[in-house]
Structures are given as C-alpha cells and as structure tokens.
Amino acid sequence: MGKATRDAYGEALKELGAVNPDIVVLDADLSASTKTQVFAKEYPNRFFDTGIAEANMMGVAAGLAAAGKIPFASTFAVFGAGRAYEQIRNSICYPKLNVKVAVTHAGLTVGEDGATHQMLEDITLMRALPNMTVIVPADAKETKEAVKWAASYYGPVYIRMGRAKCDDIMPEDYIFKPGKSFEVCPGTNLTIIACGIMTAMAQKAHDLLKADGISARVINMSSIKPIDKDAINKAAKETGAILTCEEHTVKGGLGGAVAEVLCLNNPVPMAMIGTEDTFGQSGKADELLEVYGLTTENIVKKAKTLLARK
C-alpha cells in the first residue's frame, strides 16, 4: 500500500515552492488534513489560512491570480466544489483565472464523517464549468505529476484527492499530460476505464478475469476534462465493450463523460460502477465501498455481465 494522494499533494507543494516564488497556498482551516501545512511550515509568508470560509477563499485566490500569483486553494471536496461553487464559476472560471482548486477527502472513503462530507458529485459539477480542467489522480506519483503540471498551466484546474492510502500504480517515469490516459493493462475482450482509487481495483480485476480466460484492458482516465477521446474510441473499436469505475456518482462523472464520447462516435455495450442516485452514509471506508459495490469483485461481476451483451 502506497501513500495517500493528499500526502503527495503536500510534498508536491513544498517542492514547487522551492523553485517558483509565485506559488501561494490557501486553506480553509484544514491544513493538517489537506497536508498544506507542509507548505505553510516551509513558506509561511506565502500561506493564507482563510478560516472556515471557502467562498471567500476562492475570491481571495482569484485576486491573487489576477495579481500574477499561482494560488492553490485547498479544502475538503464537499466544501470546495459544493460550498464555493458560485465563486469558482463566476470569479475563477468565467474570467479564466489561474487558480488551482485542489481538494481532498473526496468520495466514500471519508468514512465515518458520513454523507454530509462524502462528496460524490464534484466531478459532475466541475467538468460542466467552461475553462475548467478536471483531474482525478490514481496514486501518489500521478498526484505529484498532476500538481506540477497544474502549476505550469495557465487556467483553472480542479484536482480531486482522497483521504486514505492507495496502491502505487504509475511507473516512475510517468509524466501527466492533460487529455491523455494511461493503459495500465492490455486487453482485447473488454475495456475497464477507471479513475482515482478505482484504478487499482480495476488492475486487480484484470488479473482475476485473466484467470477466467477474459482479457480486460485497463485504462487510467485521470484526465476527466479534457478526456482522451482517442483512447476511448480505440478501446470501443478494439474490445467492443466499456466498463467505467469511479468513487463518485455515475450521473455525470467519469461514466457520463465516457458515454458522451461513445454515443457520438462508437456506441458499444457499456456499464458503469459508481454510486447510484444516493448519498453516502457513515461507516468504515472499506465497508462503505463494499455496500456501494465499489470493489474488485463487483468489477469482475459487472465485466462478465457486460461481456454477455456483446
């Protein structure tokens, strides 16, 4: 088991701060949890704790961006994408300001904090905004690379990270590129497209399916917007079936984004794994993933059902 993506985020900020004096970091009284305290300790004059006022924090970030800084605004996903949605829309995306909204504690793996803190619709909200880039890293390595890329890119970026530790997947020489996916495992019978913690589960499902004589391609689709249309269309043509997996609602998230590409170009049998039309609930992270079907075993089951539709 590797480190949590939020830990990698804190490390990346510290590294960026050493080479770029324009990097500034904002937090909403959660720096110990979002790991921005790592940056704050090293560069206290470039760290701003705005308190429990996320909407105001986004406005401050927009002002700093307008003044030539590169702000990373951090909080929990439910507060960043939810509470501050209007400010992200009107103060950041509309004028296309250079603000990076980097959120942690997304999805069911927030665990015992319950439904009020388990943000399951933020990908949907953020990818609908014009000018916004949406990234859901699969592991610590990819998180670092995505954060470094975001700092070099001019424009709004939303980076979605989790609370729990996750498996290492991406190779050491991996470099993040927006609009480009990464093929984790080759396959010819169907394609599993995943993001975040579900990518590791999809990789394990590949091995289980292989034991049953099923060849499953696994694609890590960390760039939700822009999305890798070429990889999706290629997978549809070559494998004839697509299964998406995300720690997020199936309504408008990764599954919705992939479906949009398929229906306009290469319609093939498709299925989605994610939460349905429901909120989460309080419980241990692993138990919640089991309850909502976000498991390796369910990926295998859904894949076999999907194959029967080819």
Q: Which residues are catalytic?
A: 54
Rounded to whole angstroms, the Cα distance separating 56 from 83 reads 10
Question: What DSSP assignment string belongs to 136-159?
Answer: --SSHHHHHHHHHHHHHS-S-EEE
Interatomic CA distance for residues 156 and 146, integer angstroms: 13
Are 286 and 265 in contact by the 8 Å Cβ rule? The answer is no
* 13-18: long-range contacts, CB 8 A cutoff, minimum separation 24: 13/38, 13/39, 13/72, 13/147, 14/38, 14/39, 14/42, 15/144, 15/148, 16/147, 16/148, 16/151, 17/42, 17/43, 17/46, 18/42
String of b and e for 246-279 (b: at least 16 CB within 10 Å)? bbbbbebbbbbbbbebbeeeeebbbbbbbbeeee
Are the CB atoms for 243 and 193 separated by under 8 Å?
Answer: yes
| DSSP H helical ranges for 197-283 | 198-211, 229-239, 254-265
Comparing C-alpha atoms, which of 153, 176, 154 is closest to residue 222?
Answer: 176
